[in-house]
Amino acid sequence: MFEIPKNVLSIISTLESAGHEAFIVGGCVRDVIRGVTPKDWDITTSAVPSQVKGLFSRTFDTGIKHGTVSVLLGGDCFEVTTYRVDGEYLDSRRPSEVTFAGEIEKDLSRRDFTVNAIAYSPTRGFVDPFDGQVDIKKGIIRCVGDAEKRFGEDALRMLRAIRFAAVLEFSVNNAALHAITKLRESLANISAERIREELVKLLCGKNLDALKLLEKTGLMYFVLQKRVNHGDLEESISRLKTLAKTNADENMKIALFLYWTGDNCKNILRDLRFDNKTIKTVSIYVENIFAELPQNRYEIKKFLKEISPEFFLNLIELKKVTNPALEIKKIHEEVHDILEKKECFTLRELAVNGDDLAAVGIPRGKETGEALEKLLDAVMREPSLNVKEKLLCL
């Protein structure tokens, strides 16, 4: 059997001792069955939020409207959610209301996929009305109930199905794939942020062939915020697979994926509401995947100025994946040498600032910035110039 953390067991037994039912549920049950350690442990209970709050000394309201109370125990935080059913769905994204349900089976029936609709408690064992355990064994993503109905209620589930296929290395059953193809346009009702989160998880998954399902079902167009993928997806997938074998981070994967969409990646990133730092880093990766490597120390510093050393080294790794013949050892050494010698490549490290320039009569404003940039450029070429007296003479 699998091990459940003692704090989780303690929450379940506290609820049970007070006469309620309580189970671990959803992703954590799925993961323990797969032999994977869950990221977090979700608990579902027949107790209503006020009862849950009465039983534990440290709680806070996380999603009280949805029946979720967070219980703090031994430094960890666990979400305890009352059995619920969702009301009518409006515009394929959110239920108009949620109501608490009396039975665990009802709560399980509102969940998206059979593999996510299993509950377990040490005293009651598994509750698995939709044969989720069988689907986990077979490696299949199947909707709870009628696929069209379930995707009609919440369009994000279409993308979740394919994301789970990528992350769990599962396939998606035909009924679900048909329904996705039919309802693909409703993904346009889903916020860009939620689509982004699923896409990033998908790209970090192990079964990257799942990307073909996005294309095949027509979901790709809506994931890319109404853009056609112009690139060669097979090639993109094969590069992503190579990248997945390294310890590449999320941004590198996003870059490699977007490179092959053949569109302006900055616009896609913006439309998907990525933060500015990610947009900048990923765009630099994309722009430079096939660009020439910097040829000398000064050019390397120009990169380091634009993106941090960490991101620059990532870019080099990314280029190595797309071009295995690339010789990157020398450039690695050069970067480390620049860092070790603390050679200046940012305005912050420059030995003069705007005040110093003002003191020698350079008026504040646009000129200050331009002058500082010029001095920085000189210092990047010749590190020994990074001394206040020398710079003020230039």
Q: Which residues bind ligand ATP (CB under 6 A)?
A: 26-27, 39, 111-112, 116-117, 154, 156-157
- Closest by Cα among 307, 351, 344, 312 to 328: 312
CB of 283 to ligand ATP, least distance (A): 27
Q: How far, in Å, are 197, 198, 238, 246, 260 from residue 229 at the CA level?
A: 19, 18, 16, 26, 8
CB of 156 to ligand ATP, least distance (A): 5
Rank residues 26 and 49 by Cβ distance to ligand ATP and give the closer one.
Answer: 26
- Closest by Cα among 112, 116, 114, 117 to 159: 112
Rank residues 116 and 261 by Cβ distance to ligand ATP and give the closer one.
Answer: 116
CB of 226 to Mg ion, least distance (A): 29
φ/ψ of 24, rounded to 5, equals: -85, 150
**If you ran DSSP here, which 8-state letter would residue 113 be given?**
B
CB of 112 to Mg ion, least distance (A): 12
278/251 Cα distance (integer angstroms): 7
DSSP-derived pairing of the beta strands 68-73 and 59-63? antiparallel
- Type and span of the H or E element at 305: helix 297-306
Rank residues 157 and 319 by Cβ distance to ligand ATP and give the closer one.
Answer: 157
* Residue 51: burial class (beta carbons within 10 Å; 0-12, 13-18, 19+): middle
- Binding at 112: pick from Mg ion, ligand ATP, none (beta carbon under 5-8 Å per type): ligand ATP
Site residues for Mg ion, 3-62, by CB under 5 A, read: 27
**Is residue 218 part of the contact set for Mg ion (CB under 5 A)?**
no
CB of 114 to ligand ATP, least distance (A): 10
- Binding at 111: pick from Mg ion, ligand ATP, none (beta carbon under 5-8 Å per type): ligand ATP
Contact 23, 16 (CB under 8 A): no
Rank residues 40 and 382 by Cβ distance to ligand ATP and give the closer one.
Answer: 40
Rank residues 113 and 311 by Cβ distance to ligand ATP and give the closer one.
Answer: 113
CB of 164 to ligand ATP, least distance (A): 7
What's CA 249's distance to the chain center, in Å?
10
Report the residue closest to ligand ATP, judged by CB: 27
CB of 26 to ligand ATP, least distance (A): 3
CB of 279 to Mg ion, least distance (A): 27
For the chain, the C-alpha Rg in angstroms (whole number) is 27
Rank residues 198 and 343 by Cβ distance to ligand ATP and give the closer one.
Answer: 198
Cβ-proximal residues to 184 (8 Å cutoff; 6+ apart), any chain: 158, 217, 218, 219, 221, 222
Query: What are the DSSP E strand ranges found in 96-249?
Result: 98-100, 119-121, 125-127, 140-141, 171-172
Rank residues 89 and 347 by Cβ distance to ligand ATP and give the closer one.
Answer: 89
Handedness of CA 260, 264, 268, 273 (dihedral sign): positive
Rank residues 143 and 237 by Cβ distance to ligand ATP and give the closer one.
Answer: 143
CB of 39 to ligand ATP, least distance (A): 6
Contact 352, 373 (CB under 8 A): no
- Binding at 116: pick from ligand ATP, Mg ion, none (beta carbon under 5-8 Å per type): ligand ATP
- Binding at 142: pick from Mg ion, ligand ATP, none (beta carbon under 5-8 Å per type): none
- Binding at 245: pick from Mg ion, ligand ATP, none (beta carbon under 5-8 Å per type): none
- Binding at 196: pick from Mg ion, ligand ATP, none (beta carbon under 5-8 Å per type): none
26/199 Cα distance (integer angstroms): 20
Rank residues 104 and 391 by Cβ distance to ligand ATP and give the closer one.
Answer: 104
In the complex, which residues of this chain contact Mg ion (CB under 5 A)? 27
